[in-house]
Structure 1
């Protein structure tokens, strides 16, 4: 049982095995770098561990212990001690000083001793603190520390959230803590080159210590050892055993020159910590730092924490007049639920003069004074619709939708700080307003009501206006203050034009698409679900048959046992909990090792995922209007592509029969048809244009079958003589080359030898020399300037190209090659959406754009407009750019998405 007794002293010293946790963090977290290419996975893992342990333990005193030339003193005892330890990985070495910096800004004393290890520093401090009446908590996962556990010294492993006292050591080891060093000496440590006594394992070591107590007594009475082989081994290894105990025993008498009062826990240096965490891009950790009382820059005033309530029509008119006079208005809406259907509870407002307001509209609290919704709509209608009044905020698309629910049309979207931040660093995971305020304004925003964001609590409308006013008004003020600096950075980076002409104009288009939604035939989807349910069960039975018995297909341990222990397949990759059974591993087992079970599992998982993601889930997401309303995200992908969620309609398989059946459930209203307009091979066409490859350009200009033409070029045959297999190979190369396709990848996908795959790729590059030059030039330039960009100036930072971790660098090379192509395709699609929307409005058609999925736009058109819309889509989409090759658009129409596609 874990030690749950209360501490014997109010003074608690936490000693962190910093050196040990650095390596543990490095291996626990996948390679991670900043946008400038600085490796940070060990720093992040270490920092999380320290913060978690401090929160759990709440020590009064604290220290981080590090190695410092840690092998030197023990190598005087045995020159081979840790001699086989490899040098730290190249991408770990630069993280050591960063970890020291973390300790520094968190005000955690860092201690070391020349020639000694962190173990010895901790042992010394633990004994010193014990002598002065402290309770000592050693934060470590290293079993060697059990040797210093006693009534005043316990261990804490933050990864397992587990403490270990005397009883825990006895339960785990079968011996007392004071005997652990003797145990370690007997069994040795191959990793550290500590020799063991031959024939003595864990069980024998424990038995010997039960009988003799310690190594010294054992050697003095060795003739009493009953087993002849063990007795002989001890006799012949007296010297090495004695030396081993010296090596594993902590030195607890180092002259550290530190007083325990020097280790009193202090609050982090919030300013320096914020600077460091921002530099390292630890945005989530910034949330745990206390807000600064004053700004670091004298030109930035602190955010106000109170605001004025607008409760009369006269105050509302004054606000509208002030917005028109100043030409700017920053708005943050208070609402709950999906924006396309959410009622506006209130509105946080910030004006250019620095004043803020909160307009309460639908608070249900008894006696709440607020503006009638009708009055709000009447007074604010003109200013909201006035494009001359620049609108700001965070996620202006959501604001547009919520205001539309009140009959208001937002024009003049300009300062969307989420979008502006995204354009500056599209590789960043999220651009939450709270994080941006911490980083750019050094301010903590007031907490939102407990119900917002999925947290438990009262509905937002049940809170009184006074409870929520500051939270929304201050957010509006924060967005207002950040916008000018963001615009300045965009101008300097050449990205402002992209914001003005593409991303911001797209906001209302996407808002209308989300509001429109697409009709779902629930009955049709139900029929497909029933059929797929039968297939899933059949595939499950096939898996069981391939395994030879029934097992839980959803249990990775059971699956691993079947694959690796029963079927003796090779373990290709390991995870935290054992041999991996992920998709990549299963594909290799199926293709390279001809595993029937792996192949059946892949099919089972694919069917199960589609069933749970779409067939079972879509009917639950149908709104009251009978339509599905997805949410589009502009600030989500590193390449500029839109993504969708709730539901994600971009992952429905295009080329499978099940994918087509799911699309068949998306239908048009009576008297309407769905029209699909899809760019044909857009990325290959862009590759031809950007790489300026004459062979590829010629093929597209002549409207040839590009895959047959490639097969003819690569295999040296006449295009009319290309067979299906040659075309299949060429198609795989064509589509894979822009993603950094390797010989190994091609061989795996096509089931051919790597030698053959290498030969195919080499022949491809001989015929398409311009593409090879593009690949090489793009990576080389990205290494020099630190980014890649699209034809329209969208940038992606590529710091990982400089990573010392080869896997990370290679992944960055593939991303660098792909981004100009996929990113430009995304830009073209956005330009196409704007062009199509403008054309529909100009011609006053009733047709509406419903969905954008990869390279496709889906419309819902009245029957009488179908042909006109098909022509309009082709013309608009094909003319958004002048390239060296034509942009080709395929169109179709029908009652369902499947029919139209």
Structure 2
């Protein structure tokens, strides 16, 4: 499951989910057919963005989240470079009419909306992502903007719901030919036609990536500009005053995102926002979103109260650190009528996530099997291959019944290890999504709603 992984063996990692609202607003407007409300209002962009947010909420368990839009008016980049975005046409009337009702609908879904004057959405997102990682959180940024690839690191990932693309460190290297820390230099050389930021004429992605690989950085490219032959070398030398030189960054300064924006909210204030079903009903009726309206109308009229805490029972918690303990665990798993199972991973993308452990629960026992933890003072762990070989019959046995949260993720992670997970009879994420579409589906919310338990965070 993609919602968390254990760093120290005790605290699950928290996630901040950020959405580049401005990026998706335009893309939804141009990608979807022209939709109208019963009153004739344009609603295509509203529908597209809300649909994307619903998908993100189902795919990513986050403890805090926000949708960030560009503010109206000038930014510091316009002051630095008057031609910045100068060729962009004004927002179409059909789109501008959807901005305010969209913001209202986003808030009704339980997502905070952030707009900060004088900067762009990218700068707000970068500041929030930095704050999250400083506090030990992960940040997942949903965007179609290549500029934000400069933020990617071991704790920051980009996702693009419209192209089903996920960019971690390796993903950035594969797509652009350079690592995240060189994205700004790369874009400075290539330029950005959308934002009207010139680069080096006739220098495309391959040439920029090759130069940065050969010379190490933009400063290195500038230092060796006299050695580069051909028309691209001539074009490079023509724009040396535009590229960063000494202490006067120009082109690169426009592309670099700010990470110190004064924000109107704290990270904690972006956590645990509840949806407003009554406002959703009113808006969906106005927009003519009949399917979503039926979903909300079928939900309880009042927020469902958490179940009273289940009767406390004495439970046994243990970690498996020896091969003998693991063999004993396998015997218990095969004898249990139903086992709660979860993979613990570093990373949110199932095709690249690194398996570091597995969790099991049956009867009154909860067991954790660390496989690849590397934090300071980590205990000696069972050989990775040996552990998987011992667990393989149970993992692949269709007769061994398992319950989990988002088994699709676990199946991909185990498939990367040559294992075919079987016997998955209950997926609480999918069951909640089908039966409680109006509610949150993360494991913490399910535990509180159905068992009255507050999970560790």
Q: Give yes or no for TM over 0.5.
A: yes
CA distance in 2, matches of 1:286, 1:35: 14
The residue number in structure 2 matching 1:31 is 34
Deviation, structure 1 residue 5: 9.9
Cα distance 1:142–1:203, how it changes in 2: closer, same or farther (>3 A)?
Answer: same
1:246 aligns with 2:253: yes
Deviation, structure 1 residue 199: 2.9
Cα distance 1:60–1:295, how it changes in 2: closer, same or farther (>3 A)?
Answer: closer
Checking the alignment, whether the CA contact within 8 Å between 2:142 and 2:158 is kept in structure 1 is: yes
The residue number in structure 2 matching 1:493 is none
CA distance in 1, matches of 2:6, 2:54: 21
1:200 aligns with 2:203: yes
CA distance in 2, matches of 1:283, 1:162: 30
Cα distance 1:120–1:206, how it changes in 2: closer, same or farther (>3 A)?
Answer: same
2:193 is paired with a residue of what secondary structure? coil
The residue number in structure 1 matching 2:368 is none
Deviation, structure 1 residue 158: 1.4
The residue number in structure 1 matching 2:110 is 107
CA distance in 1, matches of 2:275, 2:294: 13
Instruction: Specify which of 52, 55, 71 is matched with residue 55 of structure 2.
Output: 52
The residue number in structure 2 matching 1:236 is 238
Instruction: Specify which of 128, 131, 139 is matched with residue 134 of structure 2.
Output: 131
1:14 is paired with a residue of what secondary structure? strand
Whichever of the two has the greater Rg, that structure is: 1
Checking the alignment, whether the CA contact within 8 Å between 2:159 and 2:166 is kept in structure 1 is: yes
Instruction: Specify which of 246, 252, 258 is matched with residue 265 of structure 2.
Output: 258
The residue number in structure 1 matching 2:440 is none
The residue number in structure 2 matching 1:76 is 79
CA distance in 1, matches of 2:22, 2:52: 13
Q: Deviations over 1:807-854 (max 9, x none)?
A: xxxxxxxxxxxxxxxxxxxxxxxxxxxxxxxxxxxxxxxxxxxxxxxx
CA distance in 2, matches of 1:295, 1:109: 22
TM-score computed with the length of structure 1 as normaliser: 0.31
CA distance in 1, matches of 2:63, 2:168: 20
Counterparts of residues 701-720 of structure 1 (less than 5 Å): none
Cα distance 1:208–1:288, how it changes in 2: closer, same or farther (>3 A)?
Answer: farther
1:277 aligns with 2:279: no
CA distance in 1, matches of 2:287, 2:64: 27
Checking the alignment, whether the CA contact within 8 Å between 2:19 and 2:67 is kept in structure 1 is: yes
Deviation, structure 1 residue 18: 0.4
Cα distance 1:77–1:233, how it changes in 2: closer, same or farther (>3 A)?
Answer: same
2:208 is paired with a residue of what secondary structure? helix
Cα distance 1:172–1:295, how it changes in 2: closer, same or farther (>3 A)?
Answer: closer
Q: Deviations over 1:728-769 (max 9, x none)?
A: xxxxxxxxxxxxxxxxxxxxxxxxxxxxxxxxxxxxxxxxxx
CA distance in 2, matches of 1:170, 1:290: 46
Checking the alignment, whether the CA contact within 8 Å between 1:70 and 1:116 is kept in structure 2 is: no
CA distance in 1, matches of 2:24, 2:203: 30
1:93 is paired with a residue of what secondary structure? helix
TM-score computed with the length of structure 2 as normaliser: 0.61
Instruction: Specify which of 138, 148, 154 is matched with residue 145 of structure 1.
Output: 148
Deviation, structure 1 residue 289: 3.6
Deviation, structure 1 residue 71: 4.7
Q: Deviations over 1:677-726 (max 9, x none)?
A: xxxxxxxxxxxxxxxxxxxxxxxxxxxxxxxxxxxxxxxxxxxxxxxxxx
The residue number in structure 1 matching 2:441 is none
Counterparts of residues 567-716 of structure 1 (less than 5 Å): none
Name stretches of at least 5 consecutive residues in structure 1 with no aligned partner.
297-445, 448-901
Q: Deviations over 1:635-664 (max 9, x none)?
A: xxxxxxxxxxxxxxxxxxxxxxxxxxxxxx
Q: CA RMSD in A?
A: 2.4
Instruction: Specify which of 184, 188, 191 is matched with residue 185 of structure 1.
Output: 188
Instruction: Specify which of 161, 176, 179 is matched with residue 176 of structure 1.
Output: 179
The residue number in structure 1 matching 2:306 is none
CA distance in 2, matches of 1:4, 1:172: 25
1:267 aligns with 2:269: no
Checking the alignment, whether the CA contact within 8 Å between 2:177 and 2:206 is kept in structure 1 is: no
Deviation, structure 1 residue 187: 0.8
Counterparts of residues 408-427 of structure 1 (less than 5 Å): none
CA distance in 2, matches of 1:287, 1:45: 18
CA distance in 2, matches of 1:82, 1:295: 47
The residue number in structure 2 matching 1:164 is 167
Q: How many equivalent residue pairs? A: 295
Deviation, structure 1 residue 260: 0.8
Checking the alignment, whether the CA contact within 8 Å between 1:137 and 1:153 is kept in structure 2 is: yes
The residue number in structure 1 matching 2:453 is none
CA distance in 2, matches of 1:164, 1:6: 19
Checking the alignment, whether the CA contact within 8 Å between 1:170 and 1:177 is kept in structure 2 is: yes
Checking the alignment, whether the CA contact within 8 Å between 1:71 and 1:82 is kept in structure 2 is: no
Cα distance 1:41–1:85, how it changes in 2: closer, same or farther (>3 A)?
Answer: same
Deviation, structure 1 residue 147: 1.0
CA distance in 2, matches of 1:146, 1:51: 24
Deviation, structure 1 residue 157: 1.2
2:65 is paired with a residue of what secondary structure? strand
Cα distance 1:206–1:76, how it changes in 2: closer, same or farther (>3 A)?
Answer: same
Checking the alignment, whether the CA contact within 8 Å between 1:151 and 1:165 is kept in structure 2 is: yes
CA distance in 2, matches of 1:290, 1:217: 61
Counterparts of residues 864-879 of structure 1 (less than 5 Å): none
Checking the alignment, whether the CA contact within 8 Å between 1:185 and 1:248 is kept in structure 2 is: yes
1:87 aligns with 2:90: yes
Deviation, structure 1 residue 285: 1.7
Checking the alignment, whether the CA contact within 8 Å between 2:112 and 2:273 is kept in structure 1 is: no
CA distance in 1, matches of 2:27, 2:92: 13
2:157 is paired with a residue of what secondary structure? strand
Counterparts of residues 328-727 of structure 1 (less than 5 Å): none
Deviation, structure 1 residue 117: 1.2
2:67 is paired with a residue of what secondary structure? strand
CA distance in 2, matches of 1:76, 1:213: 31
Instruction: Specify which of 11, 14, 39 is matched with residue 14 of structure 2.
Output: 11
Deviation, structure 1 residue 229: 3.6
Instruction: Specify which of 210, 219, 224 is matched with residue 216 of structure 1.
Output: 219
Deviation, structure 1 residue 212: 2.1
1:156 is paired with a residue of what secondary structure? strand
The residue number in structure 1 matching 2:439 is none
Q: Deviations over 1:353-399 (max 9, x none)?
A: xxxxxxxxxxxxxxxxxxxxxxxxxxxxxxxxxxxxxxxxxxxxxxx
Deviation, structure 1 residue 6: 5.2
Cα distance 1:82–1:7, how it changes in 2: closer, same or farther (>3 A)?
Answer: farther
Cα distance 1:266–1:78, how it changes in 2: closer, same or farther (>3 A)?
Answer: same
1:141 is paired with a residue of what secondary structure? coil
Deviation, structure 1 residue 271: 1.2
Deviation, structure 1 residue 221: 3.9
Deviation, structure 1 residue 170: 0.8
